[in-house]
Amino acid sequence: MPTEKPLDIEALKKRHKELEHQKVTSEANFKTATEQLEAVKKEALDKYGTDDLDQLRKKLLEMKDQNDRKRAQYQKHLEEIETRLAQVETNFANPPTP
């Protein structure tokens, strides 16, 4: 590993100042992220009764399954309506003769 040239005091002060700025920025970002996490956890707890990630994933799967079932029922219902409409149109176009 090559030896680095020693920095003079001004370069070291500049480097320290940059690192201090990075530290302050990182701390602020961490605080914001922590606050956002707490807000999201509270929202999850209020809406879904839990903030546990595994339980939320399970609830999401249950909601998707329920949605798929309802969508399939709706599709079946629409298909039944279309079938009845086609029958009515057929009967109207070809009325039975007395």
Taking only the tens place, the pLDDT of each residue in 36-62 is 999 999 999 999 999 999 999 999 999
| Predicted pLDDT of residue 97 | 74
Q: What percent of the chain has pLDDT over 90?
A: 83
Two structure tokens written together for 32 = 């914001």
Helix, strand and coil in the chain, % to nearest 5: 85, 0, 15
Q: Which is more confidently placed, 13 or 96?
A: 13
| Predicted pLDDT of residue 3 | 59
The mean of the pLDDT values for the chain is 93
Average confidence (pLDDT) over 18-34 = 98
Q: Is the pLDDT of residue 2 over 60?
A: no
Give the separation between CA 22 and CA 66, rounded to whole angstroms: 48
* pTM for the predicted model, two decimal places: 0.60
| Predicted pLDDT of residue 61 | 97
